[in-house]
Amino acid sequence: MDMKERIRHLCKLNHVSMNKVEGDLGFGKGYLSKLGTSKPNAEKLKKIADYFNVSLDFIMTGKEDEQKEKDNTDLKQKYSELEELLRSDSMKPVRYDGKPVNNDTIDLLLKQIEISLAMLKK
């Protein structure tokens, strides 16, 4: 996957068009499409990386730095542990404000955490 394809992939993941990214960042129309054939401006690449909350290294090579990958792995592990704890018999019934929390509420809570984790990864 080349740089242009990575940016296109990031656009899809974030439900945003390449034209919108260009407009939001103040780039000329078609700038992102030309990345496959032209030499990119380092300052603009940094803006793209910041826009998607990824490293410049990821934009250029497709690889995240090792620390970010480790942090993501740690977050996934903590989420799994929390899910296991909330669904375990030893936690039943989970209570909030003195009232038992049902499985639908636990599912909703876990979904919200998943969304938050996904936002952190961007």
**Inter-residue contact 33 to 18 (CB < 8 Å):** yes
Give mean pLDDT, residues 75-101: 80
CA gap 29, 18 in Å, rounded: 9
- Number of structural domains the chain divides into: 2
| Rg value, the chain, Cα | 20
Q: Is the pTM of this model over 0.75?
A: no
Same domain, 40 and 7: yes
- Domain around 57: 3-61
- Tell me, yes or no, whether 77 and 117 share the same domain: yes
pLDDT, tens digit, 9 for 90 and up, residues 31-80: 998 887 888 889 999 999 999 988 888 888 887 655 566 677 778 888 88
